[in-house]
């Protein structure tokens, strides 16, 4: 894929997330997608995962526990070869505690064969944990 095509693929995936279309988000992922997250003990669903079914469970659990405070704001996408960095800001409301958390983030993606194959997230896990 060209860098422009990769940028468009990522933008479509984030647009689907912001629209609440998780099936749409999942359609951009390879069957063996890998999500790599830091361990946040207070948040059981926030852990590394492999496979589209496991990632679908992540999104379902995330929706059970928290809801977005507006759209995830994508500020910049940088693509080089099959790697992409997405920088943005997100804010969520935790249903069980009635608290909010927000964080700037960096999502490091790998793209192969027109599908997203790997995500490594860097975000403020202390802010997440404090809200739970």
pLDDT digits (tens, 9 = 90+) for 116-125: 999 999 999 9
Non-local (6+) Cβ contacts of 70 within 8 A are 91
- Stretches where the chain sits below pLDDT 70 are none
Over the stretch 48-65, which tens digit does the pLDDT of each residue have? 999 999 999 999 999 999
pTM for this one?
A: 0.93
pLDDT of residue 56: 97
pLDDT of residue 41: 84
pLDDT of residue 73: 97
Separation between Cα atoms, residue 46 and residue 53, nearest integer Å: 15
pLDDT of residue 130: 96
């Amino acid at each position: 894929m060209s860098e422009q095509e990769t940028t468009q693929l990522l933008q479509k995936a984030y647009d689907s997330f912001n629209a609440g279309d998780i099936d749409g988000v999942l359609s951009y992922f390879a069957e063996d997608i890998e999500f790599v997250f830091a361990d946040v003990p207070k948040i059981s669903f926030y852990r590394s995962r492999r496979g589209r079914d496991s990632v679908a469970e992540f999104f379902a659990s995330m929706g059970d526990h928290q809801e977005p405070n507006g759209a995830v704001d994508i500020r910049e996408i940088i693509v080089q070869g099959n790697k992409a960095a997405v920088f943005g800001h997100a804010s969520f409301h935790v249903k069980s505690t009635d608290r909010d958390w927000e964080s700037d983030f960096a999502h490091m993606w790998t793209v192969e064969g027109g599908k997203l194959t790997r995500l490594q997230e860097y975000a403020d896990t202390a802010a997440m944990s404090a809200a739970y």
